[in-house]
Amino acid sequence: MKRRSFLSASAAGASSLAAAAQAPARKSGMKIKRVLYYGTGGDAALRKSKVPGLFNQSTNVVMIETDAGLTGIGEGGAKDTLEQCAAAIIGMDPFRIQEIWQVLFRGYFYPAGREKLHALGAIDMALWDLKAKALGVPLYQLLGGLTREHIECYATSYPPKATLKETAAACIKDGYRAFRVGPADSQPYDRFEMVNRTAQMCRDAREGAGKDGGWAVDFHTRFDMTDAVRLAGLIEGLGAYFVEDLVRSEDPAVYKTLRGLTKVPIAVGEQFGSRWDMNELIEGHLIDYCRATVPNVGGITEFVKIAALCETHYVGLIPHFTGPISEAALVHLCGSFSGPALMEMLPRVAISGTPYLPKAFDFRDGKLWPNDRPGLGVEVDTKQLTLLAEITENTQPTPIYRRPDGSVTNW
C-alpha cells in the first residue's frame, strides 16, 4: 500500500483521511485531539475483590482520538502521571511515535521514573494500536511479521486441585508449557521454614508436571541473599524452566554476585523500567530470561529495543502479565521476536474473560494465538468503565529543545 494513500482505507473520518493522504509522506496529516482515561476497577475487575488497582500495575484504559476520527487503545498509568503525559501530546502527529516517546520521557528535565513510564507506556501502546488500525494491519506486521505460529504460556495461580502435584499435572494437561509455583507463605515469616517448604513445593511441581511438562518458581524478591542462594542450590537439579526474582530488585548489579553462586536459569525484569534498567543484566549475561513487559517499560516502542538487546545477548523473553490489553500487545511483540519466548497467563482471566473487553487476546489450548484483527485486536466497551479524565488542552511547562535536524534533545 502506498504511503500517500493508506489512510483512505479507513472507514472512520473518510474525508479527513483523504485530505491527509495528500500531505507530505513524512506526516500523517492527523493531530491528537483528545485522550480519555477510564477506570476499570483495577485488580477488582480481574479478581472480583474490593482491592483497588495498584498505580504501577494499572489495568485502566487509555484511548487516544485524532481529528480524523481514528482511535487507539492502551492500558496502564495512574491518573496524575497519565494526565501529565497526555497533555504534552495534544496537537502532535500520532504517527511520530518515537518522537512522542522522547518528549514524554525527557520533557520534564528528569528522565521518567518507573511510575511515569507506566503512563507513558499506556499512551505509547495506544499510539501503536492507532497506527496499525490506520494501515489496516495487525500490529505484528509493523514489527516485521510473525516468527512463530503461537506463543507458549506458563500458568500463574492455576486453579488448585487436591495436591500441588495434581495441580501441576492438570496445568500441563491443559496445554500450558509450564506450571509456576510461588514461594511458601506464612506469618510470621520464618526464613528457614520458608526455604525448606518452597524447595518441597518445587519438587512436587517437578513431579506433577511430568516428563513432558515444565515448571518454574518465583522467589518474589522475598528472600535475603543467603536464603536465595541456599534455596537455589536445593532445587538446582530439578530442571526449572526459570527461577524468578531471586532477591530484592533495587540493585541489578547484585546479580553479578548471584550469578556465580547458582546454576539455575534466572528470570528478572518485571520490577524494572526502561532499557537503562535492563541493559546491565542483559549485556552482562546475568540473566537467562528478561521479564520486561508493557506498559511498565514505557510501552511497545521501548519493549522492541529491549527485545533487540535480548536477542543480541542470547536472552529470552518471559514478560510479566500486567493486564488483558497489555497481554494482547505482548502477543504481537513476542510473536515477532525470534528468540525464546514464554508468556504468563492467569487462568482466571483466560477462563472468565474481562467484561469490558468484547475482544482481547486469543487464548486456547494453553497458548496465545496471533490474530488478523487490525491494531492490537482489542475492542473496549466503555459503557462498563468509569471516565476518570478527559484531556483536550496541550500543556508543556518545560521547553522542548531540538537539534538543527529537528530531533529532540534535553532542555
Instruction: Name the helix (H) or strand (E) containing 408.
Output: strand 408-409
| Under 8 Å between Cβ of 273 and 246 | no
pLDDT band at 143; cut points 50, 70, 90: very high
- Under DSSP, the state recorded for 390 is E
CATH label, 6-13+26-136+382-409, candidates 3.30.390.10, 3.40.50.300, 3.20.20.70, 3.40.50.970: 3.30.390.10
Using the predicted structure, report yes or no on whether residue 321 has a pLDDT greater than 90.
Answer: yes
Using the predicted structure, report yes or no on whether residue 150 has a pLDDT greater than 70.
Answer: yes
Residue 238 CA from chain centroid, whole number:
29
pLDDT at 3: 36
Return the half-sphere exposure (C-beta side, CA atoms, 13 A cut-off) of residue 54. Answer: 7
Nearest to 155 by CA among 139, 133, 171: 171
Place of cell 528478572: 268
Alpha helices of 136-264 — where are they, by DSSP H? 139-142, 164-173, 191-209, 225-234, 254-258
Length of the chain: 411
Which whole number is the average pLDDT over 40-69?
Answer: 72
pLDDT per residue as tens digits for the range 154-191: 999 999 999 999 999 999 999 999 999 999 988 888 89
Using the predicted structure, report yes or no on whether residue 131 has a pLDDT greater than 90.
Answer: yes
pLDDT per residue as tens digits for the range 116-129: 999 999 999 999 99
Spatial distance between the Cα atoms of 330 and 139, rounded to a whole number of angstroms: 10
pLDDT at 401: 87
Spatial distance between the Cα atoms of 242 and 168, rounded to a whole number of angstroms: 15
Q: For residue 289, what are the β-bridge partners?
A: 267, 316
Angle at which helix 324-335 crosses helix 114-135, to 10 degrees, equals 70
Please name the fold of domain 142-369.
TIM Barrel (3.20.20)
Highest mean pLDDT (candidates 158-162, 276-280, 405-409):
158-162
| Domain ranges for the chain | 6-13+26-136+382-409, 142-369
pLDDT band at 108; cut points 50, 70, 90: confident
pLDDT at 10: 43
Q: Helix, strand or coil for residue 362?
A: strand
pLDDT at 281: 95
State the amino acid at position 210 in one-letter form: G
Nearest to 60 by CA among 320, 354, 392: 354
pLDDT at 124: 98
pLDDT per residue as tens digits for the range 364-392: 999 999 999 999 999 999 999 999 999 99
Alpha helices of 235-323 — where are they, by DSSP H? 254-258, 275-283, 300-312
pLDDT at 27: 83
Place of cell 511430568: 210
